[in-house]
C-alpha cells in the first residue's frame, strides 16, 4: 500500500507528464512564421482540406463601457455610433453583443457596468490598414462618450472563414 505522500507525488508526476505532452502537441500545431511584416498574427497548421473554400481572416474584439460622467451610453447612442463610425470602416459585417462588464478603476475600486462587445472579422491581408481603422474607432468612442479606454483584444491566430 502506498503512503499518501507517494500517491500525491505519483498523481503530480502523471499530471505533469500530461501537461508537458499537451504543450508539445500544441506547439507542433502552431506555425510561427509570420506571413506579413506588419502582422502579429500567428497561423495554426490547419489541414488543407479544412481550408478548401475558406479565406484567412483576422479577428479583433472591442469592449465598450457605457458609464459616462453623466449617465450611460444608451443602446440607441451606441447603435448610432456603430452606424456612423464602425460600419463605414467595416461595411462587410460585424457583430455586437450586449454584455455586463467590470474592471478595477484607478482608485482600486471594482466598477460594474453594461457594455457592448464588437467583434470584427476582416481579411488577413488588410490587417495593417484595418488596425488603423480600429484604433480610430477606439479614439472616437473615448472622445465622444468620455471614456478612459476601449479594451482591444486581437486573436493571435488567423481564423478561417467560409461563406
CATH number at residue 130: 3.30.70.120
Any domain includes 15 = no
| Within a domain: 123 | yes
* Eight-class DSSP state of 136: H
- Res 157: pLDDT: 82
Strand partners, 160: 56
Domain that holds residue 127: 47-161
29 vs 34: CA distance, rounded Å: 14
Structural domains of the chain, count: 1
> Consecutive 10-residue runs of the chain (163 residues): their mean pLDDT?
46 38 38 46 66 86 95 97 98 96 90 96 94 98 96 89 84
18 inside domain = no
Query: Which pTM was predicted?
Result: 0.69
Say if 79 falls within a structural domain: yes
- List the grid coordinates of 2: 502506498
Residue 106 domain flag: yes
Closest CA to 73 of 48, 102, 98, 43: 98
- Tell me, yes or no, whether 56 lies in a domain: yes
In a domain, 122, yes or no: yes
Provide the 3-class DSSP secondary structure of residue 72. Answer: strand
Angle formed at CA 69 by CA 65 and CA 71, multiple of 5 degrees: 75
Residues 6+ apart with CB under 8 A from 65: 73, 101, 103, 113, 115, 147, 149, 150
pLDDT for the residue 5: 44
Measured over the CA atoms of residue 124, residue 125, residue 128 and residue 134, the dihedral's sign is: negative
| Residue 34 located in a structural domain | no
Amino acid at each position: 500500500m502506498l503512503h499518501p505522500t507517494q500517491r500525491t507525488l505519483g498523481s503530480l508526476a502523471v499530471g505533469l507528464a500530461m501537461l508537458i505532452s499537451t504543450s508539445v502537441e500544441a506547439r507542433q500545431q502552431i506555425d510561427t512564421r509570420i506571413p506579413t511584416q506588419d502582422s502579429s498574427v500567428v497561423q495554426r497548421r490547419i489541414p488543407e482540406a479544412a481550408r478548401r473554400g475558406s479565406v484567412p481572416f483576422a479577428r479583433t474584439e472591442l469592449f465598450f463601457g457605457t458609464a459616462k460622467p453623466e449617465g450611460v451610453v444608451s443602446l440607441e447612442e451606441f447603435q448610432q455610433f456603430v452606424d456612423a463610425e464602425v460600419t463605414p470602416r467595416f461595411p462587410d459585417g460585424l457583430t455586437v453583443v450586449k454584455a455586463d462588464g467590470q474592471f478595477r478603476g484607478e482608485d482600486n475600486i471594482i466598477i460594474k457596468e453594461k457594455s457592448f462587445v464588437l467583434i470584427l472579422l476582416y481579411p488577413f491581408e488588410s490587417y495593417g490598414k484595418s488596425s488603423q481603422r480600429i484604433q480610430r474607432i477606439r479614439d472616437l468612442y473615448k472622445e465622444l462618450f468620455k471614456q478612459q479606454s476601449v479594451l482591444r483584444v486581437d486573436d493571435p491566430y488567423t481564423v478561417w472563414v467560409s461563406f
